[in-house]
Amino acid sequence: MTTSEQINEIAAALATAQAAIKPALKDSTNPHFKSKYADLTSVWDAIRGPLSANGISAVQEAVTLDDGVAVMTRLIHKSGQWIECGPLTVPAMKRDAHGVGSATSYARRYALSAAVGVVADDDDGNAAVKSTATSEQVALFKPSAAPEKFDEWLADLESTAVEGLSALKEAWTASPATLRAYLTKTDPERWDRLKVKAGQAVPA
């Protein structure tokens, strides 16, 4: 998770919004398991009013990886403050429009629900991953190859960290989502070390 320099206003607004958010309705059916679940539309229906009433918008970016998709979710307050969550990565078992679309919908729904705190019940994940896959297997999913120019970008990020936390956050926010997704999924400890290094830096 990354945030703007200050989050006092968005934190207060989000707390008020969450108090008004109701559970998302299970109004869709998973044909494979004959079970009901709350789809992406239901999640939006549950959160749109409370978020808007408190000056919060939600935007999501989905990018394709070697074997799936990654979704970043950002909550933005009218003050300009923001909180970004993710990436949430989901494997796409078929590299066609349906497979990628299903994985994207699944990832967007779960990422948005987690970022806002809305209750969303079990799901159509079987369309995004094999029915035999366990949740632990999905959680361990990692893209098989680094995105193009990843090493150069990481070196630039390392250099930026010595300029302080604000500079690092600015560079991170401006970076392509594919690069951010790969780093936080494959080497989250390195990203944590970069933030610590930036926090200890004394800007020139």
Instruction: Output the average pLDDT for the chain.
Output: 80
Using CA atoms, how far apart are residues 189 and 107, in angstroms rounded to an integer?
23
Q: Are residues 130 and 159 located together in one domain of the fold? A: no
Q: Are residues 49 and 113 located together in one domain of the fold? A: yes
- Which of 119, 141, 163 marks a domain boundary? 141
Which carries the bigger pLDDT value, residue 200 or residue 43? 43
How many helical (H) and strand (E) elements, i.e. helices and strands, does the chain have?
8, 6
User: Computed from CA positions of residues 108, 111, 113, 116, in that sequence, does the dihedral angle turn out positive or negative?
Assistant: negative
> Domains in the chain: how many in total?
2
Cα torsion through 49, 14, 196, 179, rounded to 10: 0
pLDDT (average), residues 101-128: 76
Q: Band of the pLDDT at 55, cuts 50, 70, 90? A: very high
Query: Where on the phi/psi map is residue 145: left (φ > 0), alpha (ψ -120 to 50), or beta?
Result: beta
Q: What is the residue range of 198's domain? A: 146-204
| Residues 177, 72 contacting (CB under 8 angstroms) | yes
Has residue 130 got a pLDDT over 90? no
Q: Are residues 86 and 164 located together in one domain of the fold? A: no
* pLDDT tens sequence across 58-72: 999 999 887 889 999
Q: Which two tokens stand for residue 165?
A: 């936390």
Rounded to two decimals, the pTM is: 0.62
